Amino acid sequence: MAQATKERVVYHVVPNSSGEKWVVSQERAEFRREFETKDEAVQFAKERARKEELGQVKVHKKDGNMEYESTYGDDPRRSPS
């Protein structure tokens, strides 16, 4: 079980300002890297997140809305529906 004080390291995959390339950035950090394709950016972000004790990737669509997210390490508990 993850410690309550340990925060998940979150990477976002988003289009750049021109919408021509894709950017991987890390929440609460200065890290940012640009890629030619979304697939390259997603693959890179997932590799980084898997190396973290608690990692997460949030992939956005070209319009900026959330597409999906993946978590690595201890998965968060699901609430009963």
pLDDT tens for 26-49 read 999 999 999 999 999 999 999 999
Mean pLDDT of 9-21: 96
pTM of the model: 0.84
Q: Domain segments of the chain: what residues? A: 9-72
The pLDDT assigned to 2 comes to 45
Q: Which two tokens stand for residue 30?
A: 């200065």
12 forms beta bridges with 25, 58
pLDDT tens for 49-80 read 999 999 999 999 999 999 999 999 886 666 56
Q: Which two tokens stand for residue 41?
A: 């950016």
Q: Which two tokens stand for residue 66?
A: 């959330």
